[in-house]
């Protein structure tokens, strides 16, 4: 690779990344790819506020404070195997069905054990009263 000369813009980007090490942290954490960062750098320029915000956020909190929980969940979902996810959803569905069945049995059992009061009349939906 030492024999091949890189494009001047790529050399400039490499120098930029050395000045802003937090950009590599985003790549390592899976928040961005080098291609995306390069495109942003190429289109926005080195002096864009995006690069200052990223470095101040990283320096202030030690991690990216702008990331929200939804972004992290979606990122995790992208990394999951769809077949494994479907398998886990099926197991969860079966477990919920079993719990629902047990609860239904307990409710039916508790209704049978209730004594009927003598004053209580069964509900008749077809009972009409005259005025």
Number of H helices, E strands in the chain: 6, 0
Domain layout of the chain by residue ranges: 1-60
User: Are the beta carbons of 66 and 57 closer than 8 angstroms?
Assistant: yes
Whole-number pLDDT of residue 32: 83
pTM of the model: 0.38
Q: What proportion of the chain, given as a percentage, has pLDDT over 90?
A: 9
pLDDT digits (tens, 9 = 90+) for 41-92: 888 888 777 777 655 444 444 445 456 777 777 777 777 788 887 888 888 8
pLDDT digits (tens, 9 = 90+) for 95-129: 999 999 999 998 887 776 665 555 666 666 666 66
Whole-number pLDDT of residue 97: 92
SS3 (DSSP) at 51:
helix
Q: Is 51 exposed, middle or buried (0-12, 13-18, 19+ CB in 10 A)?
A: buried
The dihedral over CA atoms of 57, 62, 64, 69, expressed in degrees to the nearest 10, equals -130
């Amino acid at each position: 690779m030492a024999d091949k000369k890189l494009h001047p813009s790529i050399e400039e980007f490499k120098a930029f990344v050395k000045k802003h090490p937090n950009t590599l942290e985003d790549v390592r954490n899976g928040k961005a790819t080098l291609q995306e960062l390069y495109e942003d750098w190429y289109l926005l320029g080195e002096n864009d506020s995006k690069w200052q915000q990223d470095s101040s956020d990283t320096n202030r909190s030690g991690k990216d404070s702008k990331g929200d929980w939804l972004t992290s969940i979606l990122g995790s979902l992208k990394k999951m195997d769809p077949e494994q996810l479907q398998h886990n959803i099926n197991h969860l569905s079966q477990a919920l069905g079993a719990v629902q069945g047990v609860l239904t049995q307990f409710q039916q059992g508790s209704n049978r054990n209730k004594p009927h009061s003598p004053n209580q009349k069964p509900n008749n939906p077809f009972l009409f009263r005259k005025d």
